[in-house]
Structure 1
């Protein structure tokens, strides 16, 4: 009974200590290696921050514009019944 109580109290503490051990320093290439070569057509090699920032195409902005006026659809000339 005591061991179960000890495990039940130690497990959340172990998980909490593992969650708090993340690094907050900037990312750097491993020792002895360099950053990837510059892409074709680029004038300079991108920095780690530029490599980690997603492009506009990867994360498009969201449009929160609400539909304010309802419009009837035009008939679709290609919406034909099956033959």
Structure 2
């Protein structure tokens, strides 16, 4: 009985994971349409255009990350709480 459950569980896992590798083009569900044409645009963007992120949505990092601990500079406005 345990071997049977293991085989069935393995088969279900393989079936579930096989769907993860499926790649198809994105398109609207039947009966649905893409969003309306943006104001001022000449053409209706397709699904690929809508999936592209503008630079403002994912800006590149412009500051170097610190690679080691460094002493913080003295901050004249770092005051203890009142009271």
Distance 2:27 2:9 in 1: 33
- The within-5 A match list for 1:1-83 is 3-22=1-20, 23-63=22-62, 65-67=64-66, 72-76=73-77, 79=79, 81-82=81-82
CA RMSD between the two structures = 3.1
Give the TM-score taking structure 2 as reference length. Answer: 0.62
Distance 2:8 2:49 in 1: 41
Higher relative contact order (CA 8 A, sep 6+): 2
